[in-house]
Amino acid sequence: MSVYFTKEHEWVRVDGDTATVGISDHAQEQLGDIVFAEVPETGKRLTKGQEAAVVESVKAASDVYSPVSGEVLDGNSKVADDPSIVNSDPEGEGWFFKLKLDNPSELDGLMDENAYREWVKTL
């Protein structure tokens, strides 16, 4: 199982052809208290870079882009019901959606965990 990150601060965890997507700890920290999350519906087709979910803190509204293309297998209803999970466990229980990967080679352009953590320090 491997984890990749985008420069837009999404993470994608890949297990076989299933990818789980969320926002990074750095992203939740920057957003502050998260008060609203909207996740995509099962069956929705997403293309890489497309707006897939919404996350709002007290001060800001943001789109979450899909880092890869595929069909949505599940949206996390837990974060929609209690968005504060995205603050408390952004890279675990606070995931946004799972999708079935169309094209695993799309992962090639993403950062691995070490590269991302190092890059975030430079921001």
Q: Which of residues 59-98 bind another protein (CB under 8 A)?
A: 59-65, 83
- Say if residues 53 and 63 touch (Cβ distance below 8 Å): yes
Q: Which two tokens stand for residue 99?
A: 């999708």
| C-alpha–C-alpha distance, residues 59 and 90, integer Å | 18
Residue 60 C-beta: closest distance to another protein, Å: 5
- When the beta carbons of 34 and 101 are compared against another protein, the nearer one is 34
- Please, what is the minimum distance in Å from the beta carbon of residue 66 to another protein? 11
Going by their DSSP bridges, the two strands 10-15 and 2-5 should be labelled as: antiparallel
Residue labelled with tokens 């919404």: 54
**Of the residues 12, 19, 46, 55, which one makes contact with another protein according to CB under 8 A:** 55
Interior angle at CA 86, CA 26 and CA 67, nearest 5:
65
Q: Which is nearer to another protein, 56 or 89 (CB)?
A: 56
Of positions 2, 42, 58, 100, contacts another protein by CB under 8 A: 58
Residues making contact with another protein (CB under 8 A): 8-10, 23, 27, 31-33, 35-36, 38, 54-65, 83
